[in-house]
Amino acid sequence: MNNFLAFDLGAESGRAMLGRLHEGRLELEELHRFLNEPVRVPDGLYWDTLRLFHNIREGLRVAGRDRHLVLDGVGVDTWGVDYGLVDAAGRLVENPRHYRDARNNGMLEAAFGVVPRERIFEWTGSQFMQFNTVFQLYAMKLAEAPCLKAASRLLFVPDLLSYWLSGVQKNERTIASTSQFYDPVNRRYSTELLTALGLDAGLLAAIVDPGTCLGGLTEELADFSGLGATAVYATASHDTASAVAAVPATMDRPWCYISSGTWSLMGLELDRPVINERALANNFTNEIGAEDKVRFLRNIAGLWLVQECRRAWALDGTEYNYAQLTEMAASAEPFAAVIHPDAFLEPGNMPQRIAAYCRKTGQAAPASPASTVRVILESLALRYRQVLENLELVSGQRIEVIHIVGGGSKNTLLNRLVSEATGREVVAGPTEATAAGNILVQAMGAGVVEDLAGLRQVVRDSFPLETYKANAAPAWDRAYEKYLSITSD
């Protein structure tokens, strides 16, 4: 039996997940869970990175001191784009900013004034979002941020945490590809873009592939945890890359994936990047996955909207759990209104903002939490249908199966709505795709799992999957026409 530990950090929480791999089957066990709460101070919104690492240390201690485990590897995955800056002595010079920080407002337009949008896409093949790393760095440059001048190295968040684990400063390829200064054709940083924007490419740590062993735990951590010099792996460090690696797909039918959680990442797995006018027009991105596959996808503002509504209702004194909200939404009136999920990227009173959007677009505002959640879930399903059609246009093939993985795959109502909206077969699961992918990419690096096909076979043999089949109904076609008439990219 092989034991690997995955630290899987999402926008709301983090977990230390133990993976036991034996005779081609993977068992997962949560050893430690902790909150990931950003901190707002007068000058902006930050991640509490030191607290996150404190909890990573605690996860190691539980594994070593409490459970007396012998581990074959440890790996960290997180969300994309955000980064920490360290100085020449390896010290963090500023807590990493949150990608939703208002500092990024207006940076797309500012950058396009220097380098045309089309040229940036030609160099990077990346989807344009104002919080991509390159625009965060450009905001720092324009503000003449002192910490940028003090920095010696940029490490993406999982790479910063891996550095604190191992003492090795490297940037892993899947997370680097979320930056919008990675060149997926030539498999390197786009120094052309960085130079054009006046950014220092010398800040960037060398790139390593997913599954690379960085070394062992630092001497202090080895002693503190009781784990000794356990190997630290640069796994598929972008959480979506780990989740996509664990999609239980077979190659007999064309498929796409939705990594469903705070964000919905919907796309195809390709052998080569697609960088052309159609991909640019539809704002697709070419990010890197396990075995150097290309994750050709579109970011969609996913269950973040439900999370923010739940938070707003709790502040008003009414606590709902996600299961309650889903059950309530299932009984609500269908097709009462539609919204564009991507119009709600920033924090705020989400129920009020959704109501205002509906009134602005000539629709009745949702009158209850049940109705609000129903509008969100139906609109997500319609957005998936729109992105599905665009994926088919770009790829030239009809997609037969939609794999939904991640925490959002537990939402049976949303899964059913997606199948109804698209008329396609939906396969939901595994829920713990990110942790499973993190662990199994480590296992690939350790030589325990042979390749990506073998990894997916382990997933199919290890986790229950649920299938939904529905034909697109006229009511959904009418709702889709309404959605298209109200929304626009």
Residue 488 has pLDDT above 80, yes or no: no
Average pLDDT of the segment spanning 149-157:
97
Residue 489 has pLDDT above 90, yes or no: no
How confident is residue 21, by pLDDT bands cut at 50, 70 and 90? very high
Look at residue 163 in the predicted model and tell me its pLDDT.
98
Average pLDDT of the segment spanning 252-260:
96
Look at residue 395 in the predicted model and tell me its pLDDT.
87
Residue 244 has pLDDT above 70, yes or no: yes
How confident is residue 236, by pLDDT bands cut at 50, 70 and 90? very high
Q: What is the mean pLDDT of the chain?
A: 96
How confident is residue 11, by pLDDT bands cut at 50, 70 and 90? confident
* Longest alpha-carbon distance in the chain: 64
Tell me what percent of the residues of the chain surpass a pLDDT of 90: 94
User: Can you give the pTM of this predicted structure?
Assistant: 0.92
8 is catalytic: no
User: Per-residue pLDDT tens for 452-485?
Assistant: 999 999 999 999 999 999 977 899 999 999 999 9
User: Per-residue pLDDT tens for 261-300?
Assistant: 988 999 999 999 999 999 999 999 999 999 999 999 999 9
User: Per-residue pLDDT tens for 172-218?
Assistant: 999 999 999 999 999 999 999 999 999 999 999 999 999 999 999 99
User: Per-residue pLDDT tens for 432-453?
Assistant: 999 999 999 999 999 999 999 9
Q: Which of 66, 183, 239, 292 is catalytic?
A: 239
CATH 3.30.420.40 fits 2-237, yes or no: yes
Tell me what percent of the residues of the chain surpass a pLDDT of 70: 100
Look at residue 180 in the predicted model and tell me its pLDDT.
98
User: Per-residue pLDDT tens for 318-348?
Assistant: 999 999 999 999 999 999 999 999 999 878 8
Domain ranges of the chain: 2-237, 247-429+450-489
CATH 3.30.420.40 fits 247-429+450-489, yes or no: yes
Residue 162 has pLDDT above 70, yes or no: yes
